[in-house]
Every structure is written in structure tokens, then in C-alpha cells.
Amino acid sequence: MIYRETGQYKTTYEADQQLFPILQDRIFVLLVIAFAFGAVPFLASEYLFRAILTPFLILSLAAIGLNILVGYCGQVSLGTGGFMAVGAYAAYNLALRLPDLNLLVVFVLAGLCATVVGVLFGLPSLRIKGFYLAVATLAAQFFLDWAFARIGWFTNYAPSGSVSAPPLVILGWEVVGPVRKYLLVLGIVCVFALVARNLVRGAIGRSWMAMRDMDVAAEVIGIRPLYAKVTAFAVSSFFVGLSGALWAFVYLGAWEPLAFDVNRSFQLLFMVIIGGLGSILGSFLGAAFIVILPLALNQMPGWLGVEMSTALISHIELMVFGALIVFFLIVEPHGLARLWAIGKEKLRLWPFPH
Amino acid sequence: MNIFQQKWMTGLLLAALAVGALAPMLSGVAGFPQWLEVVLGGLMSGVLYSLVALGLVLIFKASGVFNFAQGAMVLFAALTLVRLMEKMPFVVALAIAALVMVAIAWLVERLVLRPLVNQEGIVLFMATLGVAYFIDGIGQIIWGSDIYTLDIGMPKEPKILLEKTFEGGILVSMEDVIAAVIAAALVGALALFFQKTGTGRALRAVADDHQAAQSIGIPLGRIWVIVWSVSGLVALVAGIIWGSKLGVQFSLQLIALKALPVVILGGFTSIPGAILGGLIIGLGEKLSEVYLGPLLGGGIENWFAYVLALVFLLVRPEGLFGEKHIDRV
């Protein structure tokens, strides 16, 4: 009864094309954002901030970036971890070598560095397609892994290759403690989720989707493949690089190249697929699922009251994780976002389904 | 971009590769015997990469699934064999391990592939990633996660060949030679199986066109079980050879990552491509490791194969022998 758009007449183009055309959706989204900014900082425990909320938000941003590339433009990439590393190390070097730079500027510049690298590794996508491209993007992953581990300049010649972030200060506001870190990340993620949402429904987003659905047909109707694919790689790498910088500076604090290895790429791809290809909401849902699942599996033996060695737990975790992934793909190959959409559709008809 | 499509680009690329391969010797950095030693070593390890790549190609050909679990299957097969050999003779253990691999193939078809039929390639790929996690987990729960030595009587001592021709001769690892012979025999057997048996013909029909094959009465499900079984057995052979070389341990499954550039270089759908791709990658990797590595600070073997494959793909986007793809609206 409550979720119904009866009586909401659209009399202007603006009203028809707005971000959330249904009034209830607008209210719901605003409530969620208000809750995240206003209530969560007072309600959540420190563990919740550190272990779940902050990593969830940062990885959502990366998942949005990957979703733009895989879900909207149809170019499968397995090099996401490498691009995150570019963002992280670029931010580190910028903060190190230009100490007066505002931290937010550092983050954005780090994202731009990742953009450049992403475009470079995205150029082969004009020739190489499908799984060939997926494997070819692994070249980016392994090359970047190697570059950050072996080229001393990137890590300022740190002997172990491990570097740490400087203290986080933005215009005199010290970002210390889990609550402030959470608020910083939340603010950035909100802004860029909005940017992404607007990009994908604009002309550029439509050209990406045309590329995804059939590149030859898109070319025939006048979409330049070079422009569409390269912009997709650029925007996606920017998001991924930005999240890499956040991951390193805000979440990890101190890190080494291993934090961004190929498993990170797979993890992000899981998020995108399980959340739903071609959906911004899906990126959030997928990130939440993949962040929470291992933690829940880890706690499981404790809840059940079974004593197990840590090695055995980690093996069972691996097994259950794999099985759940397969199960999820079988039950809903279009991801959590699809489930959400189905739920909303049901709610619109309820309680009179005719 | 049109310049890449010219035929002579392929020739140019191959020529550049040949020059690159010969460069260390011609520039006088290395003498002929040392160079030959590196080349032979590269070719041998290339054959081993081909073994893993072969399993990937078989499955992709017949079912269009990019099977990321191949590495996990190699590890699982080797682990099964090694732990069974503690209790029984080699032949019995081998037979049981082979049966286990067939059982896995059947389970994968039943529980994963059949419900996911007609899904997009990327979804199937992610599903095999899930399978890989599952097999990794269950393998270590059942068989333990230590490093085991697999001894099937392969000679460990390297042999010195051509002593009369060159001063000091060249070192060749006999283990690698035997592995190469086994791999060659396996490829021959597979070629016969594909060309001369009824099942092989059915497999090729499925590879050509799923729907057409199904419409003339080829049971798709059974073909998939067969193909996954065959690639499970290939994984077993690869596991035996790699396991006796490096010891059976968790890192064994990472060779799947080594096999990926081989597959894209050779072409996803071509068995000869897997072999030739393996040789090129093995050769390039060894040469670059020995002669280029010191200049760049070492550790380049992790990415060199991928970059080599990437350059190759720029000229031939379907790999060396992959099916030519004609885009139509």
C-alpha cells in the first residue's frame, strides 16, 4: 500500500528523468544517507567500524569502478588489484613528496594516476576481446605487482617494501579514530556513487552499454569504439585508484604490495557478479556480501560451540565460500540487485496483485 | 589500428621474437653452449606449461567454459595420489586417483554446469572460480596441507650431453626430458582420441556447435562429463610431473596462472596452439629470466609471459591458432 506511485504525475522532462523517479525511493535513499551520517556514528561499535563498515565502503567504491568496466562496458578485467595499487602508491608518493598538498587533492590526483595507467592497459581492448582480454589484463596485475615490489623509488627505498601513510589531516580536521575515518570514507563514497550513477545514465553511459551489448552494431550506428572503451577504462580506473588510495591510507595505514595482489582482483570481480552486473546498487550489495561472508564464516564454529584448529577453519571457510559462490550463481545469476528489483516489483503490487 | 591486421605484421612479430631469442648469443653475452642450455631448459618447462594449458583448452573447446579450477584440479590430483601412495602401491593409487578425478568431473557437471546451462561466459568462469576455492578447501581438509614429496622414480641427476662437440658439454635435466616425452605421448593419444573414435567425433561436433550437436542426438551432458574427466586425467598427469619436480604443495595450483598466457597465445580452442604456445612461453620466460632479468632487477618471470602474450594478441587477437571470429550485426 505504501510503496505505490499512483498520483505522482510527471509534467516536466526534469521530473521524468530525475535520479529516482518514484517519491518513496527518494525518501528511502535520503533516509539511508541521513542514517549513515547521523545515526551510525553513535550506534556502531568500534569493531563494526574497523572490520565491516570502512572496508565495505571502500571496496564498494572499487566495485562501482569495476562495474562500470565489466557491467556497463562489458570489458572483463582481472587487473583491478593492480590499479588499486597504483592509486595507493601514487597517493603515498604525492603525500611524501608534496607534503603541503591537501589530502583530498592527493586522493583525486592518485585516482588520475590510476586513470593514466588504466587507459594504457585498456588500449589493447580495441583489438582483444572476451576472455582473451581478461587474461591480457592479468598482465597489468602482475606487471604492477612487480613494479611496486622491485622499483625502489615507488616505496621511497623502504627496505622491506612496506610503507605507511602519513597522518591524515584535511584542512585542520584530523582524521583519527574509526568514526572520523568512517565519515571521511562515507562522504567520498556518497559523492562518487552519485557521479557514477549520473555517468551511466548519460550519453557516455549509453555508449558504454551499446558497446557491451554488441560492439559492431554500436560502431555501425556511430559510436566510436576507441572513445567508448577508453573512457570506460579511464573512469573505471579512476574509481578503482581512488579506492586504492583510501584503502591504503584510511583502512590499512601501513601496507606492502601483497595487499593488492591478484586475489584482490578476484574478490572485486566476485562483488560485481554477485551484486549484479550493470548496477550501482549491486556494487554496494556485492561488497557487503563479500566483506561480511568471511567474517561470518570465521565466527561460525564459535557460535556452534565446536573446537577447531585455525588451519581447519580457514580450509572450511574456503570450501564454504566456494560452494556459496556457485550456489548464488545458480540461484540468481543476475545478482543481488535483481533480487532487490524483484522485491520492489512485488511490493508495488502488494496487497492487491492485479 | 589497421596496420596490425596485415599479414606481414605476424611475420614481423615472429622475426622480432626470433631476433630477441638469438640476441644474447649474437651480442656475445653468452656463448653458444650456454645459450643452447637455456633454450633447451625453456622448451622443457614450456612442455610442462602446455600440459596444464591442454586441460584448459579441452574444456573450453567442448563446453565454452573458461575453467579456472584447472590449477586446483592439478593440486587435488597430486595430493590424492601422494597420500594414497603412503598406503598402497603406485599403480593402485594411480587408478584410484584417476577414478576420483572422473568422479569430480561428474559432480561438477551435475552440480555446477547443468544448472548454469545457457548462462553467460563470465558467470560460468566465476562458477569455476568457486569450484577452485571448494576443491582447494576440501583437498586440504582431506589430505592435509603439508609439503609432500612425490617419488615415482624419476631420475634427479642432470645429464651432460654433447661433450665432444663443446667444451664442458651442456647440462640437461633428465627429469624434464622424461616429462616432455610423457607430455608428447599424451598429446598424441588425445589427438588419436579426438580424430579416430566415435566419442572424439562427438566431442568435436559439440565444440563446433552445441545446438546442432544436440539436435542430431549427441547427449550434451555425457559429453561434458567425458571432457571434464579427460581434463581431470590430464591434470593428474600434470600433477604427477610437477609434483615430483617441485613437491606436492599448495603453490602447485598457481601453475594455472602460468598456463593462462599459454592458452591465449596459442588460441583458446586449439590443442596444437596449447603446445606451441607453451613452447614459446617457456622459451621466452627462460631466456628473459637469464638474460633480461639481471638488467631489470630480477623477478620478471611473473609478468613476462603475460606481456609476451599481450604483444602477440595485439597482432593476432585470437591467438596463433584460435578460431577466426567474424563479427556480424
Question: Mean pLDDT across the stretch A18-42?
Answer: 88
Buried-exposed string A115-127: b where 16+ CB fall within 10 A, e elsewhere: bebbbebbbbbbb
Q: Report how far residue B225's alpha carbon sits from residue B231's, in angstroms, rounded to the nearest whole number.
A: 10
From A293's Cα to the closest Cα of chain B, the distance in A is 14
Which are the contacts of B329, defined by CB distance < 8 A and separation ≥ 6? A214, A216, A217, A220
Q: What is the model's pLDDT at position A124?
A: 87
Q: What is the model's pLDDT at position B1?
A: 47
Cβ-Cβ contacts under 8 Å, A128 against chain B: 310, 313-314, 317
DSSP string of A198-210, one letter each residue: HHHTSHHHHHHHH
CB contact under 8 A, B264 and A262: no
From B317's Cα to the closest Cα of chain A, the distance in A is 5
CA A20 from chain center: how many Å? 21
Question: Mean pLDDT across the stretch A15-38?
Answer: 88
H-state helical runs in chain A: 13-16, 23-34, 40-43, 46-47, 54-67, 80-97, 103-122, 130-150, 177-200, 203-213, 215-220, 225-246, 262-275, 280-304, 310-331, 336-349
Q: Report how far residue A120's alpha carbon sits from residue A46's, in angstroms, rounded to the nearest whole number.
A: 40
Greater model confidence, A202 or A353: A202
Q: What is the model's pLDDT at position B5?
A: 63
Q: Report how far residue A299's alpha carbon sits from residue A313's, in angstroms, rounded to the nearest whole number.
A: 10
- Residue B148, beta-bridge partner list: B248
Question: Mean pLDDT across the stretch A262-280?
Answer: 90
Q: What is the model's pLDDT at position A116?
A: 96
CA A165 from chain center: how many Å? 21
Cβ-Cβ contacts under 8 Å, B298 against chain A: 150
Q: What is the model's pLDDT at position B100?
A: 93
Q: What is the model's pLDDT at position B155?
A: 67
CB contact under 8 A, B329 and A220: yes
CB B25 within 8 A of CB B31: yes
Q: What is the model's pLDDT at position A92?
A: 93
Cβ-Cβ contacts under 8 Å, B309 against chain A: 135-136, 139
- Measure Cα distances from A339 to A22, A170, A329 in Å: 19, 39, 12
Which are the contacts of B114, defined by CB distance < 8 A and separation ≥ 6? B221
B145 to chain A, any CB pair closer than 8 A? The answer is yes
Q: What is the model's pLDDT at position B156?
A: 66
CB contact under 8 A, B130 and A262: no
Q: Report how far residue A155's alpha carbon sits from residue A152's, in angstroms, rounded to the nearest whole number.
A: 6
CB B239 within 8 A of CB B252: yes
Greater model confidence, A249 or B121: A249
Which are the contacts of B26, defined by CB distance < 8 A and separation ≥ 6? none
CB nearest B261 (choices: A135, A217, A266): A135
Residue A282 pLDDT > 60: yes
B190 to chain A, any CB pair closer than 8 A? The answer is no
Q: Report how far residue A39's alpha carbon sits from residue B52's, in angstroms, rounded to the nearest whole number.
A: 54
Question: Mean pLDDT across the stretch A241-263?
Answer: 90
CB B228 within 8 A of CB B59: yes
Query: Residue B276's pLDDT band (boundaries 50, 70, 90)?
Result: confident
What interface predicted TM-score (ipTM) does this complex get?
0.84
Beta-strand relationship, A173-174 and A254-255? unpaired
Greater model confidence, A239 or A354: A239
- Residue A255, beta-bridge partner list: A163
HEC string of chain B? CHHHHCHHHHHHHHHHHHHHHHHHHHCCCCCHHHHHHHHHHHHHHHHHHHHHHHHHHHHHHHHCCCCCCHHHHHHHHHHHHHHHHCCCCHHHHHHHHHHHHHHHHHHHHHHHHCCCCCCCHHHHHHHHHHHHHHHHHHHHHHHCCCCECCCCCCCCCEEEECCCCCCCCEEEEHHHHHHHHHHHHHHHHHHHHHHHCHHHHHHHHHHHCHHHHHHCCCCHHHHHHHHHHHHHHHHHHHHHHHHHHHCECHHHHHHHHHHHHHHHHHCCCCHHHHHHHHHHHHHHHHHHHHHHHHHHCCCCHHHHHHHHHHHHHHHCCCCCCCCCCCCCC
CB nearest A132 (choices: B137, B140, B317): B317
Q: Report how far residue B85's alpha carbon sits from residue B67's, in angstroms, rounded to the nearest whole number.
A: 28
Nearest residue on chain A to B305, alpha-carbon basis:
A139
Q: What is the model's pLDDT at position B221?
A: 84
Q: Report how far residue B20's alpha carbon sits from residue B307's, in angstroms, rounded to the nearest whole number.
A: 14
Residue B249, burial from CB neighbour count under 10 angstroms (0-12, 13-18, 19+): middle
The residue assigned the cell 590499512 is A252
Please count the residue pairs, one from chain A and one from chain B, whose beta carbons lie less than 8 angstroms apart: 150
Nearest-5° angle of CA A240, CA A241, CA A247?
85
Cβ-Cβ contacts under 8 Å, A139 against chain B: 261, 303, 306-307, 309-310
Cβ-Cβ contacts under 8 Å, B329 against chain A: 214, 216-217, 220
Q: Which pLDDT tens digit goes with each residue over A170-215?
A: 887 787 888 889 999 999 999 999 999 999 999 999 999 999 998 8
CB A77 within 8 A of CB A132: no
Cβ-Cβ contacts under 8 Å, A134 against chain B: 66, 125
Cβ-Cβ contacts under 8 Å, B64 against chain A: none
**Whose CA is closest to B83, among B143, B146, B151, B153?**
B143
In chain A, what percentage of residues exceed pLDDT 90?
42
Q: What is the model's pLDDT at position B30?
A: 66
Q: Report how far residue A234's alpha carbon sits from residue A112's, in angstroms, rounded to the nearest whole number.
A: 9
Residue B157 pLDDT > 90: no
CB contact under 8 A, A319 and B120: no
Domain boundaries of chain B, sorted by first residue? 33-261
